[in-house]
Amino acid sequence: MLVAAAAAALITFPYWSAPWASRFATTVVRDALILAIFALSLDLLVGRAGMPSLGHAAFFGAGAYAAGIASQRLATDQLPVTLGAAALVAALLALVIGVLVVRSEGIFFLMLTLALAQIVFAIAFQWTAVTGGSNGLAGIGRPMLGGLDFSAPDSIYVLVAITFVLVALAIWGLTQAPYGRALIGVRENERRMRALGYDTARLRLSAFVLAGTIAGIAGALSAYSTRFVSAQDAGLGSSVRAFVTVLVGGAGTLGGPMVGSALVSLIERIVPSLLPTELRISNAILGLVFIGFVLFARQGMVGLGRFAWLRLRRR
């Protein structure tokens, strides 16, 4: 019940916050939610299945480009088409890359996802004819559903917020179900899982493709929001940002990616306004925060929260 109320509040945020929050606030929360969806999908891999992927932005970018290109080439703005195209392209790309990386683990897996995603990014950056190259893809159509036009800032926000709630629910459901348990099993002891009869390679591939698809949807939402796709969306910086979000928030938990995206968005928005404008070091700050968490709070903020809660209960 509490969750339903929170979800409702989140979705209607621009409306009830209008008196005291600016339009800018809506944009900030919207972008944080898009990052949260992206991070939630990455957490399926990093936190649940134990697959540390540093190339997840390739799918985010693929979704963004697919949505944009679909709206331009197919001359339609209907959400089912453009969002569907985004999901499909992202899923296919995840399948292709997944087949190549899924048999490796740990650091090697991390390296491979990074390298392959970087290659995809470089292709996007150079393939001017299709993706607009370094100039990016502009003029993304407005997202429409039947006659409903979602392009107004408040409406876009609602679209993003609803998607976020749906994705969060889906992932929560997944992790409770046998599928989610199986992913955890693969993470904890793959050898034993195989001895139990699980085809672990296929399980990992399915998780990889699922995560990639959701990331693609997040990418499409980003394209609708900013009406622009930049090659950087598919780049290493974007992948790293998502990874940092997951770890700093708390990998393997539902709240982790959400809290993480709030923190990362905060750092990216607030820090520049606190420092003199010539000092553009929000990435460095993010890096330092990340280092801090890896060294001292590996379980992220959720982990810190649990730790604090346990200490409090003992008193």
Provide the pairing of β-strand 144-145 with 137-138: unpaired
CB of 265 to other proteins, least distance (A): 16
CB of 58 to other proteins, least distance (A): 11
Q: Return d(Cα 299, Cα 311) in angstroms, integer.
A: 16
Q: Which is nearer to other proteins, 14 or 185 (CB)?
A: 185
Q: Which is nearer to other proteins, 64 or 183 (CB)?
A: 183
CB of 157 to other proteins, least distance (A): 29
CB of 12 to other proteins, least distance (A): 28
CB of 54 to other proteins, least distance (A): 8
CB of 16 to other proteins, least distance (A): 33
Q: Which residues bind other proteins (CB under 8 A)?
A: 52, 54, 100-101, 103-108, 110-112, 114-116, 118-120, 122-123, 126-129, 133, 173-174, 176-179, 181-182, 184-185, 188-189, 191-200, 203, 206, 235-236, 240, 243-244, 247, 279-284, 286-288, 290-291, 294-295, 298
Q: Return d(Cα 150, Cα 154) in angstroms, integer.
A: 8
Q: Which is nearer to other proteins, 35 or 144 (CB)?
A: 35
Q: Which is nearer to other proteins, 30 or 241 (CB)?
A: 241
User: What are the angstrom distances between the C-alpha of 99 and each of 103, 209, 279?
Assistant: 8, 10, 43
Q: What is the DSSP string of 1-47?
A: -HHHHHHHHHHTHHHHHTTTS-HHHHHHHHHHHHHHHHHHHHHIIII
Which residues fall within 8 angstroms of residue 7, CB to CB, at 6 or more apart? 165
Residue position matching structure tokens 């609803």 = 162
Q: Which is nearer to other proteins, 160 or 240 (CB)?
A: 240
Q: Which is nearer to other proteins, 122 or 152 (CB)?
A: 122
Q: Return d(Cα 247, Cα 237) in angstroms, integer.
A: 15
Both tokens assigned to 10: 């989140």
